[in-house]
Structure 1
Amino acid sequence: MSSTTTPGGPRSDATPDPNPEPTPDPAPLVVDGSALGPPGARFDQQSAFLRGLAGACGVAVVAAVAWLVIQVGSELILVGLALFIAVGLEPAVGWLRRRRFPRALAVTVVLVLAFGSVAGFLATAIPVAVAQATQAAAALPAFLASPAGQSSVLGRLEGRFHLEQVLEQAATADNGATVLGAGEAVVGGVASTVIVVALVVYFLADLPRLRRTAARLVPASRRTRATLLGDEILAKVGGYVLGSLLLALIAGTSTLVLLLILGLSYAVLLAVLVALLDLVPVIGSILGGLVVTAVALGSSVPAAIATAIFFVAYRLVEDYVLLPRIIGRTVDVPALITLVAVVLGAALLGPVGAIVAIPLAAAALLLVREVVIPYFDRT
């Protein structure tokens, strides 16, 4: 029995076609240049339901972000510190890029020099500083028992608060817990250092892409101005970081030379301490000078006087000669705002907060001057 095929009609043979033609995939629906179609009409933003829903969602998002910040606060500090260091190294990468270095090579050179310098400094200074600290701890009881030690500031503190006895009790109270706590602190410090170093590498390598992505989050009508403001903020942070490191190096080196000339003990340990404290704005060099002067007083009164005069003179030179020339007008923050920013930063984040307070204050002042004040002038 055979079947017939009507013109234009479907095939009605009982036997299927052995070589059927493949059916092409349906083409995607393209409307207005988008494969997913144009966006629909806007919702009525004056709707009470939508306004209430938006308010509730906003409160929930703020609460969730606050909870998240509290839960991962220490990790966020590490991320922020790594980003701060990467932004600080970016001017060096830009300097190499202007000399036709590929970015990958420029980043590699800067990272090798930066981490190599830090590792070399630590490898040289830490063994000497540890040896001198151990020597100072061993010599402390004899010094406190001597007439000169009893008449010193440290001796008077010992006589009033019995510091040596308190330290001995703390060291012998629970040796197992002490060793375990010290081991946990060392492991935590090493882990934090590795995390910061890894983040610095990734941030510095991807910083241009991060800047472009951040710019895409700004409306197109304001994107150019936002990009320029962001570049200016990054320039301020980068200039401040490099300038602060150079000032700390100068402070530590000059202190080491002074202590070697005076023949005082623990010169390397005190020089490293002064360099680290000099990274803290406003009060860092003052604290370093007080510590070194107190140690020099234990040696002789003339050495203490010479040390005090040196640190007063160095503070004046740093404030009026080195700081304007090295950092210049990159970070131009009034003295009152500087002091307030350092105090608040130290209260919130400790030494890290004090170090990053000034560039953050400079960025905030830039935004106030370029965004907030013009807005109020127009209204």
Structure 2
Amino acid sequence: MAERPGGNGDGSGAELRENVQEDLRDGAPDAARDVVAEAEARAAAISSPALPLGEPGRPLNRRSPFVIGMAGAAGVAVTALAVELVIVARDVLVLIGLALFLAIGLEPAVAWLGRRHLPRWAAVTVVALTLLGAFGGFLAVAIPQLVTQATLFVTQVPGYLQDFQNGNAWFRDLDARFHVVEGLTQLATGGALELFNGLLGASAIVFNVLSSTLIVIVLFVYFLGDFPRIRRGLHRAVPNSRRPRFILISDEVFAKVGAYVLGIMVCAVIAGTSSLMWMAALGVPFPLLLAIMVTLLDVIPVIGTSVAGIVCSLVAFTVSPGTGIATAVFFLVYRVVEDYVLVPRIVGRVVEVPALLTIVSLLLGGVLLGVIGAVVAVPVGAAVLLIAKEVVVPRLDAT
């Protein structure tokens, strides 16, 4: 057949009719010419300006044995591949999830600035620069003193243990049986210093931390800037009949995560600041190092504040028994104030998770993803509880 003009694939009905006429004039075999001409005639008939490529045909018969077999085999293959990809890319997926978690948590701040007639790009810039500036300024001020105090703490641990042993008969008996002082002294003077003095190991640790931090920061900025588009894309992935209900539930989940992230950050800053002031006033050694530890551990619900209080109290006992007891009482009182005053007022009643579910979520999150899993466990548990309450339970009650 002769070469047809306008073969750009735009699917217009006029060109198809011209092609049919050319086929009739060409010298192709009758059978092939008739079959092709008939198909092109049908194609020209179904093409229109509104639908230049025609209407979609009927879907495949889902009850066909071939379709069922192929779907089953494809499902098994896709599931196995997905599990393998999750295992291989576990560390990267954790960083992506952490960045998305932070973006969802700070979205309320961007929305608040947007309601005050600030463009979204400017609101995202303000929030990102504020967070990065606070983080960078904190590191610039804290790292020199942190390194100094950490070094002193490691070198003075044996002396603290010896003093504590001399003044405590119960600890002397425990050390005589299990050699606690000897083991901790070797760890402090040998294992820890050897680990941090190793150039290759320290370089690898620093590189991994910096690269992971940079990845989270970049992804966080992109997620925060494109959050409305991500939200719409997530909604488009749901069938139209279920989309309104899904929008309401997903927005409620985002609200819970946002309230939790902002609230827990404020509570952590309050915990670190108050503990720093307390330990500096009582002359507890290494107050900045311990306050940073309190701030970081306070983001872990239930467990974090308790562990931080125990460590700070043990260090305070090196000053005097009265200082140690007073520090323990301080953290006990602060724990009560945080649980019953600060968290309800700052986080509010948005994240409503029973205590049992909180503990189970913390255990599972810690086992699966470590510290990051423990941090995100409570909002994830709140989201699961909301979905179960709004979707699963009504269906079970209806059956």
Offset, 1:137? 2.1
Q: 2:112 aligns with which of 87, 95, 107?
A: 95
**Could you say if the C-alpha distance between residues 24 and 174 of structure 1 is closer, same or farther in structure 2, counting changes exceeding 3 Å?**
closer
SS at match of 1:63: helix
Structure 1 segment 212-251 matched on structure 2, within 5 A: 212-251=232-271
> 1:173 offset after TM fit, Å?
7.0
Q: Where do 1:299-378 residues align within 5 Å?
A: 299-378=319-398
- Aligned mates of 1:247, 1:149 — CA distance in 2: 36
| CA displacement, residues 230-288 of structure 1 (integer Å, 9 cap, x when unaligned) | 11111110110000000000111110111112111111111111111101111000000
Amino acid at match of 2:134: S
Structure 2 partner of 1:54 = 71
In structure 2, what residue type is equivalent to 1:356? V
Question: What does residue 28 of structure 1 align with?
Answer: 12
Deviation of 1:367 (Å) = 0.7
Flag the 1:251–1:166 CA change in 2: closer, same or farther, 3 A: closer
Verify the 8 A CA contact 1:270 1:292 in the aligned structure 2.
yes
- Residue 54 to residue 103, structure 1, CA distance change in 2 (3 Å): same
| Mean Cα deviation higher: 198-207 or 25-34 | 25-34
Contact 2:158 2:181 in 1 (8 A): no
Which residue does 1:18 correspond to in 2? none
Moved more, 253-262 or 37-46: 37-46
Q: Is the 8 A contact 1:78 1:195 kept in 2?
A: yes
For residues 22-46 of structure 1, what are the alpha-carbon distances to aligned partners after superposition, in whole Å with 9 as ceiling and x for unaligned?
9898862434833322222222221
**Partners of 2:6 and 2:146 in 1: how far apart?**
80
Q: Which moved more, 1:59-68 or 1:162-171?
A: 162-171
> 1 CA distance for matches of 2:241 and 2:373?
35
Instruction: Indicate conservation of the 8 Å contact 2:11/2:52, yes or no.
Output: no
State whether residues 362 and 377 of structure 2, in contact with CA within 8 Å, keep that contact through their aligned partners in structure 1: yes
Distance of aligned partners of 1:248 and 1:172 in 2 relative to their CA distance in 1, 3 Å threshold: closer
| Higher deviation after alignment, 43-52 or 57-66 | 43-52
Change (3 A) 1:158 1:126: farther
- Taking a change above 3 Å as real, the CA distance of residues 227 and 160 of structure 1, as seen in their structure-2 partners, is same
Partners of 1:150 and 1:252 in 2: how far apart? 32
Structure 1: gaps of 5 or more residues: 1-21
Moved more, 277-286 or 115-124: 115-124
* 1:45 is aligned to 2:62: yes
How far has the Cα of 1:98 moved from its partner?
A: 0.8
Corresponding residue for residue 7 of structure 1: none
Matched, 1:115 2:132: yes
Partner of 2:57, secondary structure, is: coil
2:231 to 211, 217, 220: 211
Structure 2 distance, partners of 1:159, 1:310, is: 28
Q: Which residue of 1 aligns with 2:102?
A: 85
* Cα distance in 2 between the residues matched to 1:319 and 1:180: 43
Q: Say if 1:39 and 1:293 are closer, same or farther in 2 by CA, change over 3 A.
A: same
What does 1:102-251 align with in structure 2 at a 5 Å threshold?
Answer: 102-145=119-162, 147-151=163-167, 156=175, 159=180, 161-170=182-191, 178-251=198-271
Post-superposition offset of 1:371? 1.1
Structure 2 counterparts to residues 230-309 of structure 1, below 5 A: 230-309=250-329
Identity of aligned residues (%): 47
SS at match of 1:37: coil
Distance of 1:142 and 1:293 partners within structure 2: 17
Q: Distance in 2 between matches of 1:121 and 1:175?
A: 22
**1:140: how far off?**
2.8
Aligned pair in 2 of structure 1 residues 166, 289: CA closer, same or farther (>3 Å)? closer
**Which one-letter code corresponds to 1:360 in the other structure?**
V
CA contact (8 A) 2:365 2:373 kept: yes
Contact 1:32–1:38 (8 Å) recurs in 2? no
1:277-308 residue CA offsets vs partner (Å, 9 max, x unmatched): 10111100000000000001111000011011
Q: Distance in 2 between matches of 1:107 and 1:175?
A: 38
Preserved CA contact (<8 Å) 1:158 1:164: no
CA distance in 2, matches of 1:27, 1:185: 59
Aligned CA distance change for structure 1 residues 332 and 171 (closer, same or farther; 3 Å): closer
Amino acid at match of 1:63: A
Q: Is the 8 A contact 2:157 2:188 kept in 1?
A: no
- The TM-score with structure 1 as length reference comes to 0.88
The two structures, once aligned, show a CA RMSD in angstroms of: 2.3
Q: 1:171 to 1:230 in 2, by over 3 A?
A: closer
Give the conservation status (yes or no) of the 8 Å contact 1:149–1:298: no
Residue 167 (structure 1) shift: 4.5
| Unmatched segments (≥5 aa) in structure 2 | 14-46
Say which is worse superposed, 133-142 or 265-274, in terms of deviation: 133-142
Whichever residue aligns with residue 364 of structure 1, its letter is V
| Contact in 1 for aligned 2:105/2:257 (Cα 8 Å) | yes
> Contact 1:260/1:267 (CA < 8 Å) preserved in 2?
yes
